[in-house]
Structure 1
Amino acid sequence: MITKNKYWIIAGILNLITFFMHLIGGQLELVNPMIETSLNLEKSSQLIGAWHMVTIILLVTSSVLLSAGFGKKYATNSEMIKSIGYLNLSFCLPFILTGFYYGLLVPQWILFLPIAILTFIGVNKTKKNA
């Protein structure tokens, strides 16, 4: 019997919060101002497309983590859950490197790191319970 995994549930909720922050806050603070610049339409469209690809990834990974956390679909697929953990861990890197390179605080990595950590803890707890 598959049981709930509180670590994946918390990671899924954090991921969903990140999704909404990206969707709404990013649109208002980054995408809309970029559209109003003199950046040519082709480059602007490509950046907006990439932006919303990340938005979709955040929504889908939230759904997978929450579903697995509640013992539903994907709950036995620890490899996919680990992949989501690695994905979130890798999302930290560009923000950390950019912050060091430009001497800025680029705090987005603070959202992704706990999701990765909780995902991996949940995988380890699932293995111990098996």
Structure 2
Amino acid sequence: MKKIYIKIAGIINLLGAILHTIGGQMELVNPLLDSNISIQQKSELAAAWHIVTILLFLTSYIILKVGFLKDSNQEKEQLKSIAVLYILSGIPFIITSYIYNANAFQWILLMPIGFLLLIGLQKSSIKKQNL
């Protein structure tokens, strides 16, 4: 396993979680709550936003734990699942950007984290030579 890639992915993920929490609240959530949509829509969209916030911080914890501490096979499987989830989660942002001619660039953070995790999970070439 190449821990440096996992550490980088974890740090980027944590920075993204912080940016999501602060910047997203000011730029997206607050205007949404000030809009004229129904209270039901406001509550559901705000809750979904904060679910994503929780997931970003939770995945940051998991990634950084594996990157900086001793890991197990179970944690490696968790990283693989997170990697696939992040890569697949970037696709709707790409499609939405194209369809609506908007700049939904969240995929720029999500997909590279997924790819860094997959690279980090590969066995290092030194270990392969010793086998």
What TM-score results when the alignment is normalised by the length of structure 2? 0.89
- What does residue range 22-101 of structure 1 map to in structure 2 within 5 Å? 22-72=20-70, 74-76=71-73, 77-101=75-99
The superposition leaves residues 61-94 of structure 1 with CA deviations (integer Å, 9 ceiling, x where unpaired) of 000000001133x443321110010111111011
- Contact 2:2/2:123, CA 8 A, preserved across alignment: no
C-alpha displacement of 1:4: 7.4
Given that 2:2 and 2:124 are in contact with CA atoms closer than 8 Å, whether structure 1 keeps it comes out as: no
Q: Matched residue pairs, number?
A: 127
- What is the identity, as a one-letter code, of the residue corresponding to 1:21? L
Distance 1:58 1:75 in 2: 21
Residues 4 and 71 in structure 1, CA contact (< 8 A), matched pair in contact too: no
Deviations 1:72-124 (A, max 9, x none): 3x443321110010111111011000011112222111011110111000111
What stretches of structure 1 move > 6 A for 4+ residues in a row? Answer: none
Structure 2, unmatched stretches of 5+, are: none
Aligned partner of 2:4: which letter?
A: K
1:20-58 deviations in Å (ceiling 9; x for gaps): 111000000000001001111111001000000000000
- Structure 1 residues 121 and 38 mapped into 2: Cα distance closer, same or farther (>3 Å)? same
2:123 match: secondary structure: helix
Q: Structure 1: 5+ residue runs without aligned partners?
A: none
Q: Could you say which residue in structure 2 is the equivalent of 1:123?
A: 121
